[in-house]
Amino acid sequence: MGALLAAAGLEAFYGPTRVLRGLDFSLQEGSITTLLGANGAGKTTTLRALCGMIRTRGEIRFDGERIDRRGTEDIVRLGIAHVPDGRGTFLHLSTEENLRLGGYARKDRRAVAGDIERMYEYFPRLRERRRQQAGTLSGGEQQMLAIARALMLKPRLLLLDEPSFGLAPLVVGQIFDIMRTVNQKERVAILLVEQNATMALELADQAYLLETGRIVISGGADDIRRNNTVRRSYLGY
Amino acid sequence: MSVFWDQVFAGLVSGCVYASVALALVMIYQATHLVNFAQGEMAMFSTYLAWSLINAGLPYWLAFALTVLVSFGGGVVIERVVIRPVESAPLLSIVVVFIGLLVIFNSLAGWIYTYTIKSFPSPFPSQPLFGIAHVSPHGVGAIGVTLVVLVLLYAFFRFTPLGLAMRAAAQNPQSARLVGIRVGWMLALGWGLAAAVGAVAGMMVAPIVYLDPNMMSGVLLYAFAGALLGGIDSPGGAVIGGFIVGVLENLVGAYLVGNDLKLSVALVLIVGVLIVRPAGLFGKAIVTRV
C-alpha Rg value of chain B to the nearest Å: 19
Which chain A residues are closer than 8 Å to B286 by Cβ?
none
Which chain B residues are closer than 8 Å to A72 by Cβ?
177-178
Choose among B164, B175, B183: nearest Cβ to A88.
B175
Which chain A residues are closer than 8 Å to B159 by Cβ?
none
Burial of B66 (0-12, 13-18, 19+ CB in 10 A): middle
Q: What is the mean pLDDT of residues B161-173?
A: 92
Which chain B residues are closer than 8 Å to A88 by Cβ?
172, 174-175, 178
Q: What is the mean pLDDT of residues B107-134?
A: 84
- Helix orientation angle between A139-151 and A169-185, rounded to the nearest 10 degrees: 10
Grade residue B130 by pLDDT with cuts at 50, 70 and 90.
low
Q: Are B203 and B50 in contact (CB under 8 A)?
A: yes
Q: What is the mean pLDDT of residues B44-62?
A: 95
Per-residue pLDDT tens listing for chain A (237 residues):
578 999 999 999 998 999 999 999 999 999 999 999 888 889 999 999 999 999 999 999 999 899 998 999 999 999 999 999 888 899 989 999 999 999 998 888 888 889 999 999 989 999 999 999 999 999 889 999 999 999 999 999 999 999 988 888 888 998 899 899 989 988 899 999 988 888 899 999 999 999 888 998 888 888 888 887 777 777 766
Residue (of B196, B202, B198, B207) closest to B138 by Cα position: B207
Choose among B171, B177, B182: nearest Cβ to A90.
B171
CB contact under 8 A, A53 and B167: no
Q: How far is A14 from chain B (nearest CA, A)?
A: 16
Q: Are B237 and B226 in contact (CB under 8 A)?
A: no
Alpha-carbon distance B238 to B227, whole Å?
4
CB contact under 8 A, B174 and A84: yes
3 state SS of A46: helix
Q: What is the mean pLDDT of residues B211-215?
A: 92
Q: Are B40 and B215 in contact (CB under 8 A)?
A: no
Q: Does B63 touch chain A (CB under 8 A)?
A: no
Which chain B residues are closer than 8 Å to A97 by Cβ?
164
Give the pTM: 0.88
Residue B244 has pLDDT above 90, yes or no: yes
Q: Which residue in chain B has the smallest CA separation from A100? A: B161
Q: Which residue in chain A has the smallest CA separation from B162? A: A104
Q: How far is B273 from chain A (nearest CA, A)?
A: 24
DSSP string, A62-130: ETTEE-TTS-HHHHHHTTEEEE-TTTT--TTSBHHHHHHHHTTT-S-GGGHHHHHHHHHHH-HHHHHTT
Alpha-carbon distance B234 to B240, whole Å?
10
End-to-end CA distance of chain A: 37
CB contact under 8 A, B179 and A109: no
A174-180 LR contacts (CB < 8 Å, sep 24+): A174/A140, A175/A140, A175/A143, A175/A144, A175/A147, A176/A203, A178/A122, A178/A123, A178/A144, A178/A147, A179/A32, A179/A147, A179/A203
* Mode of pairing for the β-strands spanning A32-36 and A206-211: parallel
Q: Are B123 and B64 in contact (CB under 8 A)?
A: yes
Q: Are B125 and B137 in contact (CB under 8 A)?
A: yes
Which chain B residues are closer than 8 Å to A77 by Cβ?
180
End-to-end CA distance of chain B: 54
Q: Does B160 touch chain A (CB under 8 A)?
A: no
Alpha helices (runs of H) in chain A, residue ranges in sequence order: 43-50, 72-77, 95-102, 112-122, 124-128, 139-151, 169-185, 197-203, 221-226, 228-230
Percentage of chain B beyond pLDDT 90 is 66
Alpha-carbon distance A157 to A29, whole Å?
8
- Domains identified in chain A and CATH numbers: 5-88+154-235 (3.40.50.300)
Quick count: other Cβ atoms within 10 Å of Cβ B271? 12
Which chain A residues are closer than 8 Å to B179 by Cβ?
76, 101-102, 104-105, 149, 153
CB contact under 8 A, A72 and B171: no
Choose among B161, B168, B183: nearest Cβ to A93.
B168
Instruction: Among A51, A74, A90, pick the best mutation site for testing chain B contact (most B Cβ within 10 A).
Output: A90
CB contact under 8 A, A93 and B167: yes
CB contact under 8 A, B179 and A153: yes
Instruction: Among A50, A53, A72, A147, pick the best mutation site for testing chain B contact (most B Cβ within 10 A).
Output: A72
CB contact under 8 A, B171 and A84: no
DSSP string, chain B: -HHHHHHHHHHHHHHHHHHHHHHHHHHHHHHHS---TTHHHHHHHHHHHHHHHHHTT--HHHHHHHHHHHHHHHHHHHIIIIIGGGTTS-HHHHHHHHHHHHHHHHHHHHHHH-S--B----SS-SSPGGG-TT--HHHHHHHHHHHHHHHHHHHHHHHSHHHHHHHHHHH-HHHHHHTT--HHHHHHHHHHHHHHHHHHHHHHHHHHH-B-TTHHHHHHHHHHHHHHHH-TT-HHHHHHHHHHHHHHHHHHIIIII-GGGHHHHHHHHHHHHHHH-TT-SSPPPPP---
How many beta-carbon pairs under 8 angstroms link A with B? Answer: 61
Choose among B161, B172, B174: nearest Cβ to A104.
B161
Alpha-carbon distance A89 to B174, whole Å?
10
- Rounded to the nearest integer, the mean pLDDT of chain B is 90
Grade residue B288 by pLDDT with cuts at 50, 70 and 90.
low
Least confident of A61-70, A226-235, B196-205, B221-230: A226-235
Within its chain, how far is the Cα of A183 from the centroid? 12
CB contact under 8 A, A102 and B179: yes
CB contact under 8 A, A104 and B167: no
Q: What pLDDT, on a 0 to 100 scale, did the predictor assign at position A227?
A: 81
Q: How far is B167 from chain A (nearest CA, A)?
A: 9
Q: Which residue in chain B has the smallest CA separation from A110? A: B161
Q: How far is B192 from chain A (nearest CA, A)?
A: 21
Q: What pLDDT, on a 0 to 100 scale, did the predictor assign at position B113?
A: 93
C-alpha dihedral, A187 to A188 to A189 to A194, nearest 10°: -120
The size of chain B, in residues, is: 290
Alpha-carbon distance B99 to B78, whole Å?
14
Q: What is the mean pLDDT of residues B129-146?
A: 81
Q: What pLDDT, on a 0 to 100 scale, did the predictor assign at position B1?
A: 62
Grade residue B32 by pLDDT with cuts at 50, 70 and 90.
confident
Choose among A77, A90, A109: nearest Cβ to B175.
A90
Residue B128 has pLDDT above 70, yes or no: no
